[in-house]
Amino acid sequence: MKVSVILGTRPEIIKLSPVILELERSGLEYFILHSGQHYSYNMDRVFFKQLGLPEARYNLDVNSGSHGLQTGRMLIGIEKVLKKELPDVVIVQGDTNTTLAGALSAVKLQIPTGHVEAGLRSYDRSMPEEINRRLVDHCSDMLFAPTEKARQILLGEGIPEDRIYVTGNTIVDALYRNLELAENRREIMDRLGLKKRRFLLVTVHRQENVDNKKRFSGILRGLALVYERFGYPIIYPVHPRAAKRMREFNLKPEGLILIDPLDYLDFLLLEKNARLILTDSGGVQEEACILQVPCVTLRYNTERPETLEVKSNILAGADPESIVEKAEIMLERKCNWPNPFGDGKAGERIVKILIERFGR
Ligand code: UD1
Ligand code: UDP
């Protein structure tokens, strides 16, 4: 069996790291195909280094652009590589343009495709991610659903049962593997002058939040009100999309400590030590839940309903008053919920399923 792992963005690198390391450990033949969707050092290379991942055999250097341009370039580049390498199976993860281009290129060449983190739905068709994940789920041959709920969603959409495997979410594997390393660090806490449970952590980067001036400024206003009301320092590592829009819209956030995106270990450490996390990120909602840190989601919906059910998370949307109100609720919440995302062995399970199906 020869496996092609296709990735391109920060969360794909992190969430595919357990699968890649398990392929490596099992001595299987595989290669990484990087679309180049993320390319800044702190959105890409730093994660390869820190997670101990081998170099990508190919990097298409697609970089940024409109959805059509970016996805189109990826389709052209990925098809070329797959035709040359002829893998037996392609693995993609999540819901980005890279995920869509990877899966579409592979299935058109009739290469069996596995989708890691299948079956998530926000039911919000204005999000590019919702379109990507639906299309990828429906064209893939193997659907690695993180939870039973995700499996039920796929079954409900008419996907045959024998294509779906409940594996847990690979984010748990990545987090368990790296938490101790993160906890041995302190430089970032010292540099920012932070004390355990005495600060809040924010990330905001979703297209529907930051590309809309009114909505982005509403969120920033809400965060400023949270600072005024509760007085905890608020750390915001700013994603490059958000940084670009902040400049373009001339927004001047108040009450926030803005920093560059962090590497995985520093970010995990801040998550673990935060009193509260406010975010519109998918992965960060999950990590907060796993780490027993309360989370306020700066969106009107989530494709991670498990976090709402166990009460680790609450939806605040983008309205300033609602953000403060939901922050107050979550600051008072008792943090003793179960982790709904699995036992940290999702990577192992996925590779075992591949071996069972394609041999070694
Ligand atoms: C993408 C994914 C999103 C995911 C996010 C993870 C899609 C449709 N969106 O969004 O689902 O949550 O990655 O972080 O695939 N930029 C840089 N350096 C980089 C990458 C991007 O400066 O390395 C800037 C560019 O100005 C670019 C902008 O960020 O225009 C947006 O990048 P893009 O890859 O289009 O989307 P993300 O917002 O990163
Ligand atoms: N992350 C990181 N540094 C940061 C912000 C996030 O390492 O400064 C990690 C975080 O731990 C999580 C992942 O990036 O595993 C989430 O990625 P992102 O929010 O970009 O994408 P999403 O999950 O929303 O698709």
Confirm or reject: Cβ of 45 under 6 Å from ligand 1. Answer: no
Q: Is-above-0.85 flag for pTM?
A: yes
Rounded distance from Cα 241 to ligand 1 centre (Å) = 6
> What phi, psi does 65 have (nearest 5°)?
165, 180
Ligand 1: atom nearest CA of 96 is 15
Ligand 1 pocket: which of 16, 38, 59, 286 to mutate (most atoms within 8 A of CB): 38
What does the block give as tokens for 334?
Answer: 């008792």
**Could you tell which of 281, 303, 307 is best to mutate to test the pocket of ligand 2, judged by most ligand atoms within 8 Å of the CB?**
281
Catalytic positions, written as ranges = 205
Q: CA-to-CA distance for 300 and 318, rounded, in angstroms? A: 8
Q: Which residues line ligand 2 (CB under 6 A)?
A: 10-11, 14, 203, 237, 261-262, 264, 267, 281-284, 287
What separation in angstroms does the CA of 137 have from each of 34, 157, 237?
A: 20, 10, 31
Q: Give the residues across from 237 on adjacent strands.
A: 259
Q: Where in the chain is the domain with CATH 3.40.50.2000?
A: 2-168+345-358, 180-331
Digits of tens for pLDDT over the chain (360 positions)? 999 999 999 999 999 999 999 999 999 999 999 999 999 999 999 999 999 999 999 999 999 999 999 999 999 999 999 999 999 999 999 999 999 999 999 999 999 999 999 999 999 999 999 999 999 999 999 999 999 999 999 999 999 999 999 999 999 999 999 999 999 999 999 999 999 999 999 999 999 999 999 999 999 999 999 999 999 999 999 999 999 999 999 999 999 999 999 999 999 999 999 999 999 999 999 999 999 999 999 999 999 999 999 999 999 999 999 999 999 999 999 999 999 999 999 999 999 999 999 999
CA distance linking residue 313 with residue 92, whole number of Å: 27
CATH placement of domain 2-168+345-358: 3.40.50.2000
Query: Could you tell me if the CB of 71 is within 6 A of ligand 1?
Result: no
Please give the distance, rounded to the nearest whole angstrom, from the Cα atom of residue 283 to the centre of ligand 1: 15
Ligand in nearest proximity to the CA of 288: 2
Nearest to 74, CA basis, from 85, 83, 61, 88: 61
For ligand 1, pick from 6, 16, 37, 66 the residue to mutate: most ligand atoms within 8 Å of CB. Answer: 37
CATH of the domain spanning 180-331, picked from 3.40.1280.30, 3.40.930.10, 3.40.50.2000, 3.20.20.60: 3.40.50.2000
Starting from the edge strand earliest in sequence, which strands make up the sheet with 313-315, in order? 257-259, 234-237, 200-203, 276-279, 295-297, 313-315
